[in-house]
Amino acid sequence: MKTLHASLCASLALACIAMAQDAMTPADVIQQVAECMRKGGDLAERSAKATGELQLRQQVAEQTVNEYGKPYNAERVQELERRAKQQKEYLARTEAELAAARVESAADRAAKKAEAALQAKEARKAYRDAATPFQQERAAALQESQALGTALEALMEGVALAPKELGVAEVKLNSNVSDGFVGLSWRDAGGKRLAWAHMRLKPVPAEIHEQGKLAGKYPVHGLSDSSAWFWAGGVNVAFVVQKAEWRGREKILEIAAKLIDPSALAALPKIEDAE
């Protein structure tokens, strides 16, 4: 579509230039330009109507082929399910707005607004009634998770290393028990962050597509000059360096093994065994 539209614009531009070379008044030129613009817009609209669905079918088919070409990945499935849910919710809201926007009569709009306001009031009440028990449950769970978070952080303290020879002066931990998450942050004496890691207790996938090994043993499934993703037992780790000297695919794995004890992570009970 973009190529067709570009070709049309080029052809119309040449036609406009040819006409402009004739002895025309400024008004004639502007009129012809307006006509060129109208014709170009009309042609683009008709082309989009005639080919839009076909182009969508093509894109869907190509994306499907591309997806089948990838190995199965449970995390990919979860991500697409989440994205599909978000887009369905967005589509529902947009369609409701579109239906309202299409009403032309001011009287009809006023009447429908009053009707919609009543529906919104009822929907708010229904939502509050349904959400209240969960809010109470969340409050109780929060108190429990705060205590568990302290215990989880204490468990992970032995995992986080602070080698002084690397300039590490402090390691900070934070956690979110409901997500099985522990965050680590390494800082120098001036408080500047050198690196950070997000660790999650997760079921280990049946197949891990490795890009290397950490400490010659732990599977790395993602790697760049500034970040590495790896598994150690039942813990998935995203490790990111911010210190320039620690960048590089080989260097980052070396640093990760010095700041995190993967054997201590691997020794932890796996989350799937506790479920």
| pLDDT the model gives residue 80 | 93
Half-sphere exposure of 14 (CA within 13 A, CB side): 5
| Alpha-carbon span 194 to 188, nearest angstrom | 7
| Alpha-carbon span 185 to 193, nearest angstrom | 7
Tokens of 109: 């709009």
| Alpha-carbon span 249 to 258, nearest angstrom | 15
| pLDDT the model gives residue 95 | 94
**Sheet of strand 227-232: strand arrangement:** 170-176, 181-187, 193-201, 235-241, 227-232, 218-223, 212-214
| Alpha-carbon span 241 to 188, nearest angstrom | 13
For residue 221, count other CB atoms closer than 10 A to its CB. Answer: 17
H-only helix segments in 22-102: 26-68, 74-101
**Helices 106-156 and 74-101, axial angle in degrees (round to 10):** 160
Residue 243 CB contacts under 8 Å (≥ 6 apart), including other chains: 194, 195
Q: b/e string for 7-45 if b means 16 or more Cβ within 10 A?
A: ebeeebeeebeeeeeeeeeeeeeeebeeebeeebeebee
Residue 163 CB contacts under 8 Å (≥ 6 apart), including other chains: 258, 259
Full pLDDT tens readout for the chain, 275 residues: 445 445 545 555 555 555 445 567 767 766 777 777 788 888 888 888 888 888 888 888 898 988 888 888 888 899 999 999 999 999 999 999 999 999 999 999 999 999 999 999 998 898 888 888 888 887 877 777 777 888 888 888 889 999 999 999 999 999 888 788 899 999 999 999 999 999 999 888 888 889 999 999 999 999 999 999 999 999 999 999 999 999 999 999 999 999 999 999 999 888 877 75
| pLDDT the model gives residue 4 | 47
Residue 241 CA, chain-centre distance (Å), reads 21
| pLDDT the model gives residue 18 | 52
**How big is the CA angle at 234 (ends 232 and 236), to the nearest 5 degrees?**
60
Q: Where are the domains of the chain?
A: 156-274
CB 251 within 8 A of CB 244: no
- State which H helix or E strand residue 223 sits in: strand 218-223
pTM of the model: 0.56
Nearest-Å Rg of the Cα atoms of the chain is 30
CB 201 within 8 A of CB 246: no
